[in-house]
Structure formats: structure tokens, C-alpha cells
Amino acid sequence: MTIGKNIPRVDAFDKVTGRAKYADDLVPTGTLIAKVLHSTIANGLVKKIDTSKAKQVPGVIEVFTCFDVPDIVFPTAGHPWSTNIANHDIADRKLLNTRVRYYGDDIAVVVAENELTATEALKLIEVEYEEYTPLLTIEDAMNGDALHEEYPNNILASTKYNVGGVSFEEALENNDVKIFEDEFEVPTVQHCFMENPNSYAYMESGKIVVVTSTQIPHIVRRVIGQALDIPWGQVRVIKPYIGGGFGAKQDVLYEPLNAWVSKMLGGKCVKLELTREEGFINTRVRHAMKIHIKSAVSENGRLIARKVKMFSNQGGYASHGHSVVAGAAHVVKQLYQDEVATDVEFTTVFTNLPVAGAMRGYGVPQITFALEAHMENVAKEMNFDNIELRKINMIKEGFVDPLNSIPSLTNELDQCIEIGAKHLNFREKHKKYSNQEGHIRKGVGCAIFSYKTGVYPISLETASCRMILNQDGSIQVQVGATEIGQGADTVFTQMAAEITGITYDKVYIMSAQDTDVTPYDSGAYASRQTYVSGHAVKKCGLELKQKILDYANYLKESEIAVDIKENHVLDKDGNKIIHVSEVALESFYHRENSKHIAAEATHHCDTNTISHGTTFVEIEVDLKLGLVKILDIINVHDSGTIINPKTALGQVHGGMSMGIAYALSEELLFNPKTGEAYNGDLLGYKIPTSLDSPDISCKFVEKYDPSGPFGNKALGEPPTVPVAPAIRNALFNATGIKYNQIPLTPERIFNKVKDKGLI
């Protein structure tokens, strides 16, 4: 048994010794360097670009501008393709753009012999713009001229749904309720992947080869084909080890431009690597949102009806577009069910800010902050127990989403709450801290969440796996799903060992994906891989095992081989018949019947399931300095079976750190006049350091989920989701002040404390 064991990560040794090769470690000598020229206005038109001086710099090979690129718009979102045109992602950008839509838009590219020359040449390019007023806020954008002609008022999409068949207003009739209303605001944040996006491209055998740091190699292949208008088979994408993505690399970034530049230079190898500053502005960010919630609650704490209105700031291009706020909006009726009616309206608006796309949690951290802060406000105003209020209304086992049919097949949320509450002695402390004086105060807070595992039935879920038996009885495993730091390769290895009966040390997973070699998978996103791709590994493993058994029976001229355990083929009584290595060797070199044993399987996934959990946190706040210190924090997760407790813990720690930063410090700020970021670097943007990160606790409540390949469900994204509202609720407990905007920066904390006369 390897499932459920703390098996060391398969890539641990290579990564800690520096032996693991990332894209930049593989760049061939003599590779040319491409650098992108970014606009210095947020909204406008490039009228003219003079590249003559730049081209004269010795070592500059070529300069291409937005007037040179093919007239093709393409989509960038890392969604599986759809053969139904109605489901296509919005195609709204060219390789380089004359219509500038955010400060830093791509308008030209220099190719030079080295980085320094390319950088110097960029400075010599002269650009003439026609400038328009930057539209940075949702309000300004909805009242301004369209950034994309097809979208008047800059509304990318606006959608409504209703559960209950009656409106919020109708639900109030004949019901004795109290009404509560809140407005929340969440910021633009950035992923801060450790490895900046980088790629290199060259041509070989009539193909364009692109080696890139991506979560989604097969999608990158398709989009390069679309952007360059060449058959997809002429594109080969290779994904080596990558240093994190968190959703930013679930978008096709500069790979098409890199491929095109190489093609224009006759297939010469060209590298395009972003700086950290470009990483902040020119990749993707998390959507800033404004969320308005109105609730009608009965005297006994039952949510009778809610009305939620959300606005999502998309930035200059569609990327994942409306699907992120949609992902958020659908949680409203999933986490809590209203007795009579749920009315939700959500709108995505183009603005002149950096492009928002996927980021760990896909809109759910945003809505969960609002929902859970609101519940806390309601509990306080009603003088109702905050845990009880949640329990009365929250998602229960057997819940099936009324709109998308996603079920909560197993649900240990109640358990998660009790474990978290016990860990902190929450109920007692919450009472105790509700009435404090002085400027150093403590507070406890909690929040719950629910999260769907994959994206079925909203989008296609498909994954494949190939296994090949080696001469020595070991196997190679190839998956289209990508290791991006989350530990996917390790759990796939565990799964393959579990299913085939070949021991873990003899299972070699190929970490790199090569679209010419690796079977198809949409990539690493959502919290889908152990679930969706795990099914493919399971199916493929069963197939391979059967083939090994068949060959063993052929060799033994019998039908007695029925199972494999610990590399031995066994009969029905568990007696060892033959070692897998013997079967393997014979299968390769048998003079009459050589048979290279391999299996390949696709899992077309038509299930989904919801995972749940909580954050409980205790803080201390210095009201005069506006500083919050986390004294104790725990996440308790209901993620079904935990495949590898140690790597699972790593996921939770990372996700919680991200959530803590979302609550307290991270926020991209922009000059309101120009749209230029003030803090698009690691100094100005306050991602926590190890000294800012508290000790983190985590527990799992394991219950076998029947739809998962091994009883498992989502864990990749969920740890981030409930952290920010829990911290906010702890500050509410400490101060009695409703902070409805994050991050809770010192000045934001201080200003309200001062206004309320607490100091």
C-alpha cells in the first residue's frame, strides 16, 4: 500500500540539489534574446513606431512592432478547446497590439545577440501615441468608451441566476425577517511564482518547438497554432520542471510571440524571459471585485433569501474572462442555501489595468471573503452564535447544486468546524475577546468554505496516461497532467504503484511533458489532477497489470496468474508464480512471441464532488500601529482520502500563506492618473517573508469519496480560500469594527480605529 503514506516527493532530491532542469537551464548556446517593449500609457493607440535607432545598435538582429504582426486575434485562457463555437474563449489580442489597453501592453519586440543589447535597444525605440483617459475603476470603465469595440460600456458579460423561483423581494413577503446589507472590496493581487515565465523557441523538421514554463503544454500548443495560423501538429511544446504557476501559467503568455519571432528569423533559437517586474504586470493577476450582499434572515437564524451583486475587474484583455466571477457567483448558493430565494448577478468589466486571469481558487477566495465576513456581521448584529448561524445554513451531505448538479457526495464540514473550534477553544475565547479595552487586543475568527474538485460539467474534463514496462520489471509512467510544484508526479507514482502492484521504487514518472510524446491532458488547474488525472492513472494501471498477467499466463501456459503484489505475479491463493522482471525480460526478447507491454488510457470524467473545510485563527492587534500578529491558525480540510499526508500538508501550508497575505498585506496599487503600477516588484508588493509567516497547523478529516479514484477530492486550491475572512473576523472580534475591505493594512486598520475613537 502506498496510498496514504508519507512517500518522499519523487523530485525532492533533484530539486534541492539543483539538479532539476528548468527551461532556462536548457537553453542552447547561441540562443538569441527577445525583449518586449511595453507601452507607457494605459489607454490609447500606437500611431507610429520608429525603430531605426534601435536597429543600428550592434548586436540587434531585428525589431518587430505591432504593425508587423499577423492580423490574427487569439484567446489565451487555459481552457480545453471546444468544438462548439459558442463555448470559445474570447479572442481579443494580437501578438503585439496597436490598440493599447493597459499600462505595459506589448507593442514591439527586439531580438538581439544578448540581453544587454536587447535592453539597450528597447530604450532607443520611439513611439508616438494617441492617448485616451485611463479607465481604471469599474465605474469609470462602465461610463467610458469601449476598449474592445464589441463590448459597449466595457461590459464583457453580465449574468444572473435565481434559485427558488421567486425574487429576493418576493421572498420577503409573508416572511418575518431582518435585513442585513454589506459591501465588500477585494484587491488585485499577483501570483508571485518563483520562476518568472520564460520560454525559448526554434524550428526543427518543419515544426516550431517551444520549451516553456507552463501549466498547460497541450493548450499552449493549440493557441500557438491559432495565433500563427499554422496546423497544431506543426507545434511541439515541451514543459520541463517549473517553478510554480498558481494559475498565472494557466494562460498562454508569451509563447506565441516567442514562436512567431523564431519563425520570422528562419527558425533560429530565440529566448523570451520576463523580468520579475514584467511578471507582475504582463502575466495575469487575481480579479479585484466589489461584492454587495443583502440577506434576509429569520429570527431563528435561517437564511430566507439573499441578493448578491458582484463586479469583477477584468483589466485590458479577456483571458479567462467571465468564468472567474461565474466561479465565484456559483458558490453563493453552494456554501449556504437560502430557504426561499437566492438572487445573484455578476458582471465582468474591462478596464485599463493588467489582465486578470486564473489564480488559485478561481474567484472563490473573493466571494468567500464576502460571504463569510457577511455571516459574521449578521451573527454579531443578531447576537446569534456565529458557528450556529453557519451550521444552520451551510452545505450538507447529499447537496446537489440546483444549477450545475455538482454534488457534495461526502461532507465532513461539521467535523471540520468542531476540530477547528476545539483547537482554539474558540467559543470561550470569542466571548472573552468581545469586550476588550486598550490598544493591544486579541481576537478569534473562523470561516468555512466549499469547493468543487474539477470543472465538470462546466467544461470538458479529460485526462490520459501511458505506462510502459521496462526490461527490468520497472515501469515508465507518462501523463499529460503537469507537475508544477504541487506534488502531482509523486501522487501519480503512488497511484501507479498501488494499482499495478509494482513497487514505488520501480515506477518512473516522466516529469516533463512533450506534446509530441506525452498523451493529452488539459493541464494543471482547478484542483483536478489527483481526481481527474488520477482516474486516468488508475485505468491505465489496471490495463497494464492485465497485460502483464496475460503474458505471465502465456509464459506459464496457464490461467493461474491473477494479481501482482510487490513485483510478484500471484495466483488466487497469493502464491508467487513469477517475478515481474522475468515476465518483462521474456516479453522483450522472447524468440516466438516478443510483446512490448504498454498501456494507454483516457479518462473522460463525468463526475465532480465538493470538498469543504475551515480556518480558525487567533490574532493579536496593536491598534496604535495597525499591526496584526497571528498567534495561532489552523485549517481543517475535508478532502476525502489524503494520498500523501506530507505533500498534502505542503499544499495546505502554501495555500494558507497565500491566504494570510491576501488578508493582511498583498495588493497591487496603481497610479490613479496613469494606470502605472506603484509596486510591481517584490519590494513594494508585500508578499510575506518567512519571518512574517506564523506557525501553521492543519488537520484532515478523511472520508472516502466514492467518485474519486482513491476516495480523494480537491485540495490544491482550497487551503487559500477561507483564510482571509477568518482573519478579518478575528479582527472584528477584537475591535467590533467591520472591516469590509482587504488587505487589512496598518493604515486601513488605524484609520477605522481612530474614526471609532478606540484609541
Q: Enumerate binding residues for other proteins (CB under 8 A).
A: 114-116, 119-120, 123, 624-625, 665, 669, 671, 678-679, 682-684, 686, 688-692, 745-747, 750-751
In the complex with other proteins, the residue whose CB is nearer, 29 or 690, is: 690
In the complex with other proteins, the residue whose CB is nearer, 431 or 754, is: 754
Cβ-in-10-Å burial (0-12, 13-18, 19+) of 262 comes to buried
In the complex with other proteins, the residue whose CB is nearer, 489 or 666, is: 666
Strands of 563-565's sheet in order across: 563-565, 568-570, 576-579
Specify the residue for cell string 431582518.
Answer: 178
Cβ-in-10-Å burial (0-12, 13-18, 19+) of 631 comes to middle
Output DSSP code: residue 245: -
**Least distance (Å) between residue 636 CB and other proteins:** 27
**Least distance (Å) between residue 751 CB and other proteins:** 8
In the complex with other proteins, the residue whose CB is nearer, 190 or 587, is: 190
**Least distance (Å) between residue 731 CB and other proteins:** 17
In the complex with other proteins, the residue whose CB is nearer, 607 or 665, is: 665
Which helix (H) or strand (E) element contains residue 251? none
In the complex with other proteins, the residue whose CB is nearer, 10 or 723, is: 723
Alpha-carbon distance values, 307 to 291, 340, 476 (Å): 11, 12, 53
**Least distance (Å) between residue 108 CB and other proteins:** 17
**Least distance (Å) between residue 210 CB and other proteins:** 24
Output DSSP code: residue 83: S
Q: What is the per-residue DSSP string for 466-519?
A: EEEE-TTS-EEEEESS--SSSSHHHHHHHHHHHHH---GGGEEE--SEETTTSP
C-alpha cell at 647: 505533500
Q: Which amino acid is at 48?
A: K
**Least distance (Å) between residue 38 CB and other proteins:** 14
Q: Which amino acid is at 759?
A: I
Strands of 32-38's sheet in order across: 60-65, 106-112, 32-38, 270-273, 198-204, 207-212, 235-239, 513-514
The 10 Å Cβ neighbour count of residue 84 is 7
Specify the residue for cell string 507607457.
Answer: 40
**Least distance (Å) between residue 652 CB and other proteins:** 22
**Least distance (Å) between residue 35 CB and other proteins:** 12
Rg of the chain over CA atoms, in angstroms? Answer: 27
In the complex with other proteins, the residue whose CB is nearer, 119 or 133, is: 119
Distance CA 474, CA 497 (A): 10
**Least distance (Å) between residue 754 CB and other proteins:** 8
In the complex with other proteins, the residue whose CB is nearer, 70 or 672, is: 672
Distance CA 223, CA 437 (A): 59
In the complex with other proteins, the residue whose CB is nearer, 558 or 751, is: 751
Alpha-carbon distance values, 47 to 67, 99, 127 (Å): 10, 9, 8
In the complex with other proteins, the residue whose CB is nearer, 85 or 683, is: 683
In the complex with other proteins, the residue whose CB is nearer, 275 or 434, is: 275
**Least distance (Å) between residue 248 CB and other proteins:** 21
Distance CA 325, CA 362 (A): 8
**Least distance (Å) between residue 315 CB and other proteins:** 19
Distance CA 290, CA 741 (A): 9
**Least distance (Å) between residue 666 CB and other proteins:** 10
Distance CA 290, CA 310 (A): 6
In the complex with other proteins, the residue whose CB is nearer, 400 or 625, is: 625
